[in-house]
Amino acid sequence: MTTETIVAIEAGVMRITMNRPDKKNALTGAMYDAMTAAMEQADARDDVRAVVLEGSGGAFTAGNDLGDFLATATRGQESRAFPFIRKIATLDTPIVAAVDGVAVGVGTTLLFHCDLVYATPAAKFRMPFVDLGLLPEAGSSLLAPARFGMAKASEYILLAEAFGPQEAKDLGLVNGIVPQAELAETAMAAARKLAAKPAGALRMARQLMRGDRKDIVAAMERESAAFAKALKSPEAKAAFESFLNRAKG
């Protein structure tokens, strides 16, 4: 693991911390690789019964580090985000998310695959894929309309509007809103409760609730193909150039 991805195991709970606070925990390929490996361990280890995913420094994650992301794309390689989102979508171990500050792009879409999500009043969710000339990922093209309804999904994906924790809670993305000082312990307490339950029954209950994951994986494969195609489009290149120029300014 890298220092930008901290993994610790305590009392049956694996705690994964995105630790790049100076960049609002924007995700690099190395961070994706580390989190994917950690989740694979979580499913393989008998002493891990739940996972907590969190960010450091008052942010969950600003999504992809665009410089790192574009460098990977330029080399013609698959984004290392895709193995991560495929793993989180098919994870057998329950996962709890603790969201403070920004949750952009994959920072929002990964939450559809978490069992419990807690957020602070400062949490801010956004899926700006279309604004970048790209397409939604992590199965969100299927899961957002199913969870939010088509009208709200269109608002958040097509208009790329940001939304806060109360709206996220009202729409069923977030379980509870807690003060920042209580966020980490709230998520850990929930994870410890999950870890203490009969593992076989808990796993089967999750499978029954989630249904056939082949549908989600199929949606993700469609998204991945469309995403890769869109990434090569002139409008995506123009959108990225505009974004990077604004960032420099």
Distance between start and end Cα atoms, the chain = 33
Q: How far apart are CA 16 and CA 6, in angstroms?
A: 6
pLDDT the model gives residue 67: 75
Ordered per-residue pLDDT tens for the chain, 249 residues: 569 999 999 999 999 999 999 999 999 999 999 999 999 999 999 999 999 999 999 999 999 887 776 666 555 566 788 899 999 999 999 999 999 999 999 999 999 999 999 999 999 999 999 988 888 999 999 999 999 999 999 999 999 999 999 999 999 999 999 999 999 999 999 999 999 999 999 999 999 998 888 888 898 899 888 888 887 778 777 776 776 666 555
pLDDT value of residue 226: 86
Q: How far apart are CA 70 and CA 75, in angstroms?
A: 9
What integer pLDDT is reported at residue 247 of this predicted model?
57
**Comparing C-alpha atoms, which of 79, 130, 104, 117 is closest to residue 25?**
104
pLDDT at 76: 53
Which of 2.60.40.10, 3.90.226.10, 3.30.360.10, 3.40.50.300 is the CATH number of 5-181? 3.90.226.10
Task: Give the pLDDT confidence score for residue 160 in this predicted structure.
Answer: 96
- Quick check: helix, strand or coil at residue 76? coil
- What lies within 8 Å, CB to CB, of 246 at 6+ separation is none
